[in-house]
Amino acid sequence: MDETVRRAVEFHGHLCPFVVVGAKAAGYAMEKLGAGRASDEELFCIAETANCAVDAIQAVAGCTLGKGNLYIRDYGKNVFIFGSRKSGRALRIYFNPDVFKGRSFEERVELALSLSPEEAFKAEFVDIEFPEEAEVRGSVLCSACGEYAMDTKVREINGRKLCLPCYFATREEGKN
């Protein structure tokens, strides 16, 4: 097992076929884009799935939910688009799961580990609109629960500013 897969497994919690696929996709994209592990938002990933591979991408490429450089567009497809803000280039990677058909879990893991990126993926540079970088937003005090919420998430109803849970609770009450 190479270092990237080891790092992914440690973060994900177990060794499975798609954590290997994700680790390889991340490593391959970083190589093709000439990018290191993202410390900030210089590298981002748009994942069209929310499976085990996404954990590997967070661990290996540093594209994470918390930093805002991982975008989940869960179409249930093994498509991972990596973009480098430095070079302005983006690489789209597709993994065809047909290779796993008729194989046991162990065999899938073995296969995923043995495939080279060229064998495993369809990869192409693509022209995409880069997502906007995450901004730091201010906080607003909710007039119902007295807790702060990000200003973009606050709703106003009858002149009161409410966090989303309070806003939805108020609407529910209104129905009764």
- Positions touching Zn ion (CB under 5 A) are 16, 19, 52, 142, 144-145, 163, 166
Around Cβ 121, how many Cβ atoms within 10 Å?
22
- Minimum Å gap between C-beta 96 and Zn ion is 19
Q: In this structure, how many other beta carbons lie within 10 angstroms of the beta carbon of residue 34?
A: 10
Contact call for residues 33 and 87 (beta carbons, < 8 A):
yes
Q: Which is nearer to Zn ion, 130 or 168 (CB)?
A: 168
Q: What tokens appear for 96 in the block?
A: 């065809």
CB of 53 to Zn ion, least distance (A): 8
Quote the CA–CA distance of 43 and 82 in Å, as a whole number. Answer: 7
Q: How far is the CB of 2 from Zn ion (least distance, A)?
A: 18
Residues 6+ apart with CB under 8 A from 1: 9, 15, 113
Longest Cα–Cα distance of the chain, Å, equals 61
Shortest spacing between CB 127 and Zn ion, in angstroms: 32
Token pair, residue 88, equals 């302005």
Q: How far apart are CA 130 and CA 71, in angstroms?
A: 11
Q: For Zn ion, which is the closer residue by CB, 9 or 93?
A: 9
Q: Which is nearer to Zn ion, 79 or 140 (by Cβ)?
A: 140
Of residues 19 and 38, the one with the C-beta less far from Zn ion: 19
- In the complex, the smallest distance separating the C-beta of residue 166 from Zn ion, rounded to whole angstroms, is 3
Nearer to Zn ion, 65 or 134 (CB): 65
Q: What is the DSSP letter of 10?
A: H
